[in-house]
Amino acid sequence: MSGEFTQLENVRLKMKVQTGGEVKMVDRLANSEANSKRIAVVEGCFGTAGQPLAIPGRVLIGEGVLTKLCRKKPKARQFFLFNDILVYGNIVIQKKKYNKQHIIPLESVTIDTVPDEGDLRNGWLIKTPTKSFAVYAATATEKSEWMNHIGKCVGDLLQKSGKAPTGEHAAVWVPDSEATVCMRCQKVKFTPVSRRHHCRKCGYVVCGPCSEKKYLLPSQSSKPVRVCEYCFVQLTSGSLGPRSDSISRPGSKFNNLSDDDDEDDSSD
C-alpha cells in the first residue's frame, strides 16, 4: 500500500463550524489565490481529457495515493479531496500526470471501515448510488485522516443542503480472483471460454447462464443492466431490500469489495 494524505496548510481540523458564528476556514479559503492555483495544478495534471474543476466555493482539502481494489488486482490511484467532490485517476507519471478522471459528488457518499486481513490493511469503503469500491491507505493514521476529512465534508454538505444521507448504494463487486466457480449455481467453473460476469445488484461473480437477465437500476444506468437470476427474481417480485449489497457471501472477506472500469477491467 502506498501514499500519504497531504493536507493543505491552514485547513487541518478547521473544517467544522467555528463558534460565535464565525465563517468556516474552508469558506475563507474558497476564493483565495493559493486555492485557485492548487486547483489549476490538479486540472493541468489531468490534461484536456479531464473536466474543469474550478467553481466558486470549491476548496482543495488534500490529496494522496491510495490503493484501490479493482476487479482484477489492487492498483495505485491518485485521489484529490475537495470540499464537495472526490476526484481520482490513474497515475501516468508519479505526482505529475493522471488520466481516466473520476468525479464523485460527496453528497452521495457514505464510508465504512474494512477490517484488516492479510496484506489488505487500513481500508475503507467509498459507497455511492452509482459506484462503490474499497481503498487502502499505507498506515492506520492515513486511513483515519482520509475517513475523518471525507466524513466532515459530507456532513457539512448535508447540513447546508438539508438533505438526508444517501440510503442506497451500488453493489461492490467481488474481485475475479475470489471466484473460481459461479457464486450462484456453484457448478460452472470459470475458464477462458466460460467468462466471469458481475451482477450489478449483488456484486457476485456469476456465469453467463446465471446472468442472462437484465433489469433497470436507474441509479446505475439509463439502460437495463446485467443481474443474476436470483436478484432478477427478487427485483421483479419486489421482495429485494433497498440496499444494493443486501446479499452477502458468508465467510468471504470480499463481501464489500470492488470493481474498476479501467481498460483491463471489462464491463461485465
Q: What does the pLDDT look like over 79-126, one tens digit per residue?
A: 999 999 999 999 998 768 999 999 999 999 999 999 998 888 999 999
Tell me the three cell numbers of residue 209: 447462464
- For the entire predicted model, the pTM comes to 0.77
- Protein fold of 25-161: PH-domain like (2.30.29)
Tell me the three cell numbers of residue 88: 481520482
Mean pLDDT for the stretch of residues 239-243:
51
- The amino acid that residue 218 corresponds to is P
Tell me the three cell numbers of residue 43: 486540472
Mean of all residue pLDDT scores within the chain:
82
Tell me the three cell numbers of residue 20: 460565535
Tell me the three cell numbers of residue 197: 460476469
| CATH node for 176-237 | 3.30.40.10
CATH 2.30.29.30 residue ranges of the chain are 25-161
Q: How confident is the model at residue 165 (pLDDT cuts 50, 70, 90)?
A: confident
CATH 3.30.40.10 residue ranges of the chain are 176-237
Percent of the chain with pLDDT over 70: 79
**What is the rounded distance in angstroms from the CA atom of residue 155 to the CA atom of residue 158?**
5
